[in-house]
Homo-oligomer: A and B are copies of this chain.
């Protein structure tokens, strides 16, 4: 520093531009995003789930423990690293919140109470080539329950109920949750004599995307199924029901399998305990497979009813072995994740957000003359003490200018403290254009604001 009041004489050196794949919102959009996150958090907590945050990074050994190398991991390096230093810097940004959860549970095992019910709302990073709907940095909102040895079926029904409540509270187009149990499909295929279960389920998972003909072709060419097996597999995949009646339809296919029966019983329990949700909220759907290998029971997907092709916005399932890579315990779990930014970005993109205000303020208190500053400050404090969000205008200037500021920021009320001692306070409802006397110790915004 040489001159505190230096002149602005240098030219800009760099014109900032958006970074592809890294979304950023204007304040009025961020205000809605915060409201969404608050709503999600409130529902998670209303079911007693605790919050966890993990560091943005994990050791690469952790990120790669399950052999997943398709997640386009970002690694960190120091810009001015000592030449002999980088060997210890084996850190990468997490690409989901499940790997960090597994590491967290293993690391803090002795300090957690099980069943461990946690939610986690954090950014994750994937170094993908950016394209529409694919982001490099985005929020996920995850909820998981982990237990030791056995995990009660209760949670298989509670988690979708939680997510349904959240999603229908967010002012997004109508959604439906589709639920299946992988034991049904795997037991069924095994009883049919199918040997390559992994490939077969992977192909069936593409039914909606590539259509029946292509699936038939791939089931034959890639998974080695014969025509009878293909017919039977597709018959199963077409079964769905809004209640537990899918069970009869599955059994009517005439295939018997112990594992399949176990899956039917589990899914029936889940569907029965979701019957308090509105009609059409959930669907038992035999076509839902989920690509991820580690799911072993209940699986979930969630789609817009009028826009199913956008794909699942909230997915998950049950897994038998959360943290076997890190700890010698059997830790079964179940989890669902909202692709938060992917969903939010879709609403921004379709102009479906209600973005009125540019700031959280309820009230702007005007400053009529400089010599009323103490009075104005007192009024603002009085309103704040009663829980209102209050800006005090920053400099005495024309009222028109102060009102225009409130208008441009979307502040719904402008407060006029007495311009002279003894006069009453007044408040103006900016939307209605109505102004009236008000007492700062009792006034409240009108209902419905």
State the A residues within 8 Å of B (CB).
1-6, 8, 10-19, 22-27, 30-31, 33-34, 45-62, 65, 69, 72-81, 91-93, 103-104, 106-108, 111-113, 115, 117-118, 123, 125, 127, 137, 152, 154-155, 158, 182-183, 186, 197-198, 201, 259, 273, 276, 293-297, 320-321, 324-328, 330, 358-361, 364, 373, 377, 381, 384, 388-392, 394-395, 405, 408-409, 411
Which one of B80, B107, B112, B411 contacts A27 once the chains associate, using CB atoms below 8 Å? Answer: B112
Asked if residues B72 and A389 are in contact (CB atoms below 8 Å), the reply is no
Closest chain B residue to A93 by CB distance? B76
What distance in Å separates the Cβ of A322 from its nearest Cβ neighbour in chain B? 11
Given known A27-B52, A50-B31, A108-B26, contact A12–B57 (CB-CB < 8 A):
no
Provide the residues of chain B in CB contact with A56, threshold 8 Å.
22, 56, 123, 125, 137
What distance in Å separates the Cβ of A325 from its nearest Cβ neighbour in chain B? 5
Provide the residues of chain B in CB contact with A111, threshold 8 Å.
26
Provide the residues of chain B in CB contact with A182, threshold 8 Å.
1, 4
Asked if residues A330 and B152 are in contact (CB atoms below 8 Å), the reply is no
19 new A-B contacts, CB < 8 A, other than A47-B390, A48-B391, are A8-B324, A8-B330, A12-B327, A14-B61, A18-B107, A24-B54, A24-B55, A27-B112, A30-B52, A31-B51, A48-B360, A51-B360, A56-B56, A69-B80, A72-B78, A73-B79, A113-B405, A113-B409, A117-B359
Provide the residues of chain B in CB contact with A330, threshold 8 Å.
8
Closest chain B residue to A410 by CB distance? B113
Asked if residues A296 and B5 are in contact (CB atoms below 8 Å), the reply is yes
Closest chain B residue to A22 by CB distance? B55
The CA-CA distance from A27 to B52 in the complex, in Å, is: 6
What distance in Å separates the Cβ of A227 from its nearest Cβ neighbour in chain B? 24
Asked if residues B389 and A46 are in contact (CB atoms below 8 Å), the reply is yes
Provide the residues of chain B in CB contact with A53, threshold 8 Å.
24-25, 30, 33
Closest chain B residue to A41 by CB distance? B34
What distance in Å separates the Cβ of A55 from its nearest Cβ neighbour in chain B? 4
Closest chain B residue to A196 by CB distance? B2
Which one of B16, B79, B259 contacts A62 once the chains associate, using CB atoms below 8 Å? Answer: B16
Which one of B80, B108, B391, B408 contacts A47 once the chains associate, using CB atoms below 8 Å? Answer: B391
Asked if residues B186 and A19 are in contact (CB atoms below 8 Å), the reply is no
Asked if residues A358 and B22 are in contact (CB atoms below 8 Å), the reply is no
Asked if residues B19 and A55 are in contact (CB atoms below 8 Å), the reply is yes
The CA-CA distance from A16 to B62 in the complex, in Å, is: 8
Asked if residues A65 and B14 are in contact (CB atoms below 8 Å), the reply is yes
Provide the residues of chain B in CB contact with A183, threshold 8 Å.
4-5
What distance in Å separates the Cβ of A388 from its nearest Cβ neighbour in chain B? 8
The CA-CA distance from A198 to B6 in the complex, in Å, is: 14
Asked if residues A113 and B358 are in contact (CB atoms below 8 Å), the reply is yes
Asked if residues A1 and B197 are in contact (CB atoms below 8 Å), the reply is yes
Provide the residues of chain B in CB contact with A19, threshold 8 Å.
55, 57-59, 91
The CA-CA distance from A320 to B51 in the complex, in Å, is: 41
Provide the residues of chain B in CB contact with A405, threshold 8 Å.
113
Interface centre among A53, A73, A155, A158 (most CB of B within 10 A): A53
Q: Name the 8 nearest CB pairs between A and B, nearest first.
A: A48-B391, A48-B361, A22-B55, A78-B127, A4-B296, A27-B50, A50-B359, A154-B394
Given known A24-B55, A373-B273, A377-B276, contact A186–B1 (CB-CB < 8 A):
yes
The CA-CA distance from A33 to B118 in the complex, in Å, is: 15
The CA-CA distance from A227 to B373 in the complex, in Å, is: 45
The CA-CA distance from A438 to B30 in the complex, in Å, is: 42
Asked if residues A259 and B390 are in contact (CB atoms below 8 Å), the reply is no
